[in-house]
Structure formats: structure tokens, C-alpha cells
Amino acid sequence: MKPATTILRIFDESKAREFYIDYLGFSIDWEHRFEKKAPIYFQVSRGDCIIHLSEHHGDGTPGTRLRIPCDDVRAYHKELQSKNYRFLNPGIETQPWSQYELSLTDPFGNTLLFFEPQL
């Protein structure tokens, strides 16, 4: 088997781009529409993390929780804090199972949990 690709449901393309590209620093790898005014389906990535975002009904459920391994959660947190995103001001939690976690909720109710084991 190979890594799975998560499909997250979105409802507004511009809000998705603002959150995933401008704020989180992901890049758009490709996008697809069946026609000009059809819902968008696109892939974003950062490093080895790949996420599909879809406006199509039935492609994912709002409220999905996604765990994303991260090499340096504290550095990523610092990067996010420098962007002054007006809708979030996340903090880092140190979990009792020896893990740093940075939890973010996207504009569509999906939670992205970036985590790093404590050394």
C-alpha cells in the first residue's frame, strides 16, 4: 500500500485558497472543473503532505479531523503567527503522550492537527 490522500469538503474556493495557500503555505499542484461554473476540485501540498479539496457534494464530510506529521511544529507555529491571519490564533499544546500539537480549524469545519513527537 501507499499513502492515502485525504479529500476535504470545501464550500468557497476563495476562502479555501486564503486558508490553505496564503495562510498555511501550501501550493496548488493542479485543479479541475468539468465546466467554467462547476465546483472545483484541486490538490494542495506542502512537503510530503498532500490534500485534495473539493466543492463537489459527497466528496468528504465537513468536520473531518486530519493528523499531519510535522518535522518542527514550533517553527511552523512561528511562521503562522507572523501572517496575522484574522480568523485564527492557534497555540501549541504539549500532550501527555509526549507530542507537540498545533490544531487548526479551516473555514469549513475541518480540523488539521499538525503534530511532532517530543524528543
Cell of 10: 470545501
Name the pairing type of β-strands 27-32 and 65-69.
Answer: unpaired
- 19 within domain boundaries: yes
Q: What pLDDT sits at residue 84? A: 83
- 43 within domain boundaries: yes
The number of domains in the chain is: 1
Q: Is 33 in contact with 42 (CB distance < 8 Å)?
A: no
- Residue 72: CATH number of its domain: 3.10.180.10
Q: What pLDDT sits at residue 118? A: 81
Q: Is 87 in contact with 69 (CB distance < 8 Å)?
A: no
Q: Which amino acid is at 60?
A: G
- 74 within domain boundaries: yes
- 32 within domain boundaries: yes
- 28 within domain boundaries: yes
- 1 within domain boundaries: no
Which value, to the nearest 10 degrees, does the dihedral of the CA atoms of residues 72, 74, 80, 82 take? -120
Strands (E), 1-119: 6-9, 27-32, 41-46, 49-54, 65-69, 92-95, 99-105, 111-117
What's the domain range around 59?
A: 6-117
What's the predicted TM-score (pTM) here?
A: 0.93
Q: Which amino acid is at 96?
A: P
- 103 within domain boundaries: yes
One digit per residue, the tens of pLDDT, for the chain of length 119 reads: 988 899 999 999 999 999 999 999 999 999 999 999 999 999 999 999 999 999 999 898 889 999 999 999 999 999 999 998 888 888 999 888 889 999 999 999 999 999 998 87
